[in-house]
Amino acid sequence: MQLLANVEDAIDAHSYPATAAELVAEYGDLELETPNGTETFGDALERLGETTFADAEEARLGAYSAVSSDAIGRQNYSDRDAPSIGENGRDQVSF
């Protein structure tokens, strides 16, 4: 997922420290693109509750961590699962 340019610009231009509620009030209607559609910046940040961000990078990371499950693509996927039927000959590697 990537934040849209208008959301990035708004986050970068905002004065910090700032609470999630302040950012939602100012920019909550801006949309975030996800692999399965869109959601608003406000919907994502409201999941964080009473969070205060020290700078734009914290706000950006907060938004990334709070997006809905629509943003993650294939749920419960792991590339470390046992081989599927027909994938014989591949040894499972553990790190």
In the block, tokens 């997922």 appear at: 1
50 is a domain residue: yes
**Per the structure block, which two tokens stand in for 31?**
């949309």
Mean pLDDT of 39-61: 89
Evaluate whether residue 36 is within a structural domain: yes
Asked whether the predicted pLDDT for residue 45 surpasses 70, the reply is yes
**Residue 13 pLDDT exceeds 50:** yes
Tell me which of 7-11, 27-31, 33-37, 91-95 is least confident. Answer: 91-95
Is 9 contained in some domain? yes
Q: What pLDDT does residue 68 have?
A: 62
Per-residue pLDDT at 86 exceeds 80? no
Tell me how many domains the chain contains. Answer: 1
**Residue 86 forms part of a structural domain:** no
Cα(62)–Cα(65) distance, integer angstroms: 5
Mean pLDDT score, 5-25: 90
SS3 25: helix
Which element (helix H / strand E) includes 64? helix 56-66
